[in-house]
Structure 1
């Protein structure tokens, strides 16, 4: 992913935890720098969420500047699982308010997605919220993706000036940010 030929590319590598579930992504080269690049990142994440068993329930992910242990040249950070959206291990409202991440994501496996078209019954979906600082004139941005297991994209939307209250996914992510 790259917006310009003279910028280094964004490289993404998924990683699994001990439980064989999708635990997150290693980001190398540089962080995505635009809504478009975050949408491309989300596209990859949703395609993985469509693989049976990798994401068993709707899960929250957050961008962190930590880098993984071990020799991973060029790693700049992680997009790591913060837990399921509901139930044991779910992040609490306001949990990310103190240290606002550059991005928060929700990934829905096919069993918890509502497809946008009938023939996409086995599609996974997701949302990325890029928090802004509205009182300083920096608007919230977001992207939504729906994809089938074979990689077919059935929905891709990006928007600047998002009102988090207007969409269930962005509302949940904004609630996790609200201090």
Structure 2
């Protein structure tokens, strides 16, 4: 994955956006977003939701990203300054927290196709932002890799995390987030380099 030109990434919904708050509460309650009910609870029309916020996948992506940002902000300070271990354990904490959320369990088990599309598609908002967050953590904690683009490295780290998180869907074996943490730490254990 290189830094090729692409359509600009949409900005995240503001944290205080009323629709995002209602959508997040609904997702945490139900593990899903019913746009008809969302419109009713938010006090706006469905047409307004589509026009102003986009389709269900976009709104789900923004909800998942808002939840992830909260977890990252709570987890990252615990490991700051510990190099590759800090990055691996932060990603592990985010992944473990996500896996343990009842709403995510419902979402992944009952709406599998949508969940995979929203969380892993290059066309969604979640994947790009996670890769950007991981690249930031790598640069801060480990330094710029000497022989590969940092975004490409962050993409590989994200894919390792996902493959162990979704392992049951992929291979039938249970998720193994601790294994992902070990692999990510080893992947990032290259000699420190000058930071940009």
| Length-normalised TM-score, structure 1 | 0.31
State the TM-score, normalized to the length of structure 2: 0.29
Q: Which structure dedicates a bigger proportion of its chain to helix?
A: 2
Structure with the higher fraction of residues in strand conformation: 1
